Structure 1
Amino acid sequence: MAEILLLMLALVWGTSYGVTKQALLWFPLLGFLTLRFALTFLLLAPALWSALKNDRRDCLQAGLPLGVLLWAIFVCETKGVALTSAANAAFLISLCIVLTPWLEWAFTRRRPDAGMALAALVCCLGTFLLVGGGLGFGAGDAWMLAAAILRALMVCLSQRLLSGSRLSLLAVTGLQTGVPACLCALLWWCEGKPLPALPANPGFWLALAYLVLFCTLFAFFVQNWAVRRCSPSRVVVLTGSEPLFGALFASAVLGEILSLQGAMGGGLIFLATLWVSLTGKAKAKPVSRARPAVPEV
């Protein structure tokens, strides 16, 4: 079940780049991010309110650092994409797949599994081929590398904070998205730009609804749910198929052409995720039995 949901997460995240690109034709970036996270927060506010009444301290201790990390990831990715090529950005963000096993080792004192480490390397090689190779390195690439490190850190920290926890995952996800909503709004205000009128184009609102419901609410809930059951390395390798789904979406919907080299890279990503999906289930981290079972939401 975890494998299927994580692959669905990779699918929606892979399509999010093309959808976001279209939405940004009608509204500025910081304003759009504020809307995206604020609407997600409002949808999850009832669950968060209930959790804050019962477990205020634990909920804040988990949700606030994860929210700040999520905001930092989006800031780094946004600056990186603006300053480097799409190929460099896609490859460098995928390095979180390789970085996660080593960060997990630092968190848990357990050596990375050899098969998982190999699958992570194959995923990165596949992404390198998928985006066309020929990478340079500049300021934008440094921002993307920082985003990759922060992504790996967020998955490892999520497991540390949520594994065995009795907290409502909907509440944690709500707080996790509320923090970047506030910080993006603050950055927008600090820029001193006038508040633009909300677009009337239905395409903008359809794109926003898709990103809120599937790429934010569903995606981060699934990631938080999965880290209670799987190792961080397993989570990032399975979601590492995101560039493959992004390339397929760009080819099928946006009309971009996938080269033979790109197809080979996509095949490597597919084989790596298939390997992880079909093997190593016994090493997936189970839910802690130290506390009584509680509803997942």
Structure 2
Amino acid sequence: MLLYRSVTEHGEEQQKNAKGVVSPAVARLMLVVNAAVWGSGYTILKHIQQTVPTQWMMTMRMAAATVIMGLIFWPRLRRTNLRMYVIPGFILAVTYWLGYVFQLWGLSLTAPGRNAFLTDTYCVMVPFLIWAFTKRHPTWQQLVATAVCVVGIGFVSLSGGGGADLMHMSFGDAITIVGALFYALNLVIVGLLGRSYDASALMFMEFAFASVLFLDGAGLTEGYPSASWLRWDIIAGLAYLVIGSTVIAQLFQTIAVQHLPTAQASIILSTESIFGVLVSVCFFGEVLTVGSVTGFVLIFCAILLSEVQLPSPRTLMSRRSGDL
């Protein structure tokens, strides 16, 4: 789900000429639905995970998403030299695969709400990975966002789930953060490749290779598929993840971001983690403590701070001097 946001942003310029009659209000509603679908997906993943092993679950999800994307984008894919996309698609697939492996491993050990908020810390990691790749230094507010995020993670870890203190956070929390790091790496690589490759073809190849990686991982570590997985709740959950979290969410986002400022769209999409907590509390029975709520609020503030461009202190000082 995190890559969809990135690919859409880098494919925006190719879609600027598309005609649309979506009002800003409708666009905002579409993004709220998008965030709700993504957020609720954590609890559904947790439910399916209790019956279907992680990599088999992702194999079915990614294979179905690849087929659907192939059908939707077939006219464009047919005109594209997909051989040029093999290496970049495979590199992205590896980071995407590792991101999901660690995130879902963490999800199996912690509550969906905690997993949702800790996964979204990838937003704060991105500027530092960009620094590593391009030598472009993080801004003052990105540094502040990182500090706020670290404090928020500390509160979440202190709130329970096996963590005695910040240096001994629960294993599930730590694994989730590792998954967020791979998501951030995936996002940065997409950003570096975005200007040279068609977004839909790049995402199609990534999903295709990810399906193979999940299949290989499942075959090596999780045994054979079981007929016991053919339950209505499992099938319905997978259908929700494929159709809702993949197709509908991607479609809504692709349309909505063309009618709203990027900063505003990012803020709305970042509420995904809030929906993740709400659904987890209502349907999974996650218990919120003062410490966990404080940590969630701090992490959400860090996400907003990393997404919204604020004027620098020097600019504010110059404006104040001008007013005087």
Whichever residue aligns with residue 16 of structure 1, its letter is G
From 280, 285, 309, the equivalent of 1:280 is 309
Per the alignment, residue 184 of structure 2 pairs with 152
Per the alignment, residue 29 of structure 1 pairs with 54
Distance 1:92 1:100 in 2: 14
**Greater displacement, 70-79 / 214-223:** 214-223
Tell me if 1:99 matches 2:125. yes
Tell me if 1:42 matches 2:67. yes
Aligned residues of 2:53 and 2:222 also touching (Cα < 8 A)? no
Per the alignment, residue 268 of structure 1 pairs with 298
Whichever residue aligns with residue 112 of structure 1, its letter is P
Correspondences of 1:230-245 after superposition (within 5 Å):
241-245=271-275
From 31, 39, 42, the equivalent of 1:14 is 39
From 224, 227, 240, the equivalent of 1:197 is 227
Whichever residue aligns with residue 98 of structure 2, its letter is A
Whichever residue aligns with residue 74 of structure 1, its letter is Y
Aligned residues of 1:7 and 1:238 also touching (Cα < 8 A)? yes
Distance 1:266 1:69 in 2: 26
* Structure 2 gaps, min length 5: 1-7, 10-26, 313-324
Deviation, 1:63, is 2.3
Distance 1:207 1:139, change over 3 A: closer
Distance 2:281 2:105 in 1: 25
Query: TM-score, length-normalised on structure 2?
Result: 0.66
Distance 2:144 2:34 in 1: 22
Distance 1:274 1:70, change over 3 A: closer
Distance 1:124 1:8 in 2: 29
Distance 1:172 1:22, change over 3 A: same
Aligned residues of 2:85 and 2:202 also touching (Cα < 8 A)? yes
Distance 1:200 1:150, change over 3 A: closer
Per the alignment, residue 204 of structure 2 pairs with 174
Deviation, 1:249, is 1.6
**Greater displacement, 242-251 / 46-55:** 46-55
Distance 2:155 2:284 in 1: 20
Distance 1:192 1:10 in 2: 31
Distance 1:19 1:28, change over 3 A: same
Distance 1:51 1:146, change over 3 A: same
Per the alignment, residue 71 of structure 1 pairs with 97
**Greater displacement, 96-105 / 53-62:** 53-62
Distance 1:24 1:127, change over 3 A: same
Per the alignment, residue 253 of structure 1 pairs with 283
Deviation, 1:96, is 3.0
Per the alignment, residue 85 of structure 2 pairs with 59
Based on CA coordinates, which of the two structures has the bigger radius of gyration? 2
* Structure 1 gaps, min length 5: 284-297
Deviation, 1:79, is 4.1
Distance 2:250 2:262 in 1: 15
Aligned residues of 1:173 and 1:217 also touching (Cα < 8 A)? no
Aligned residues of 2:148 and 2:298 also touching (Cα < 8 A)? yes
How many residues align structurally?
A: 273
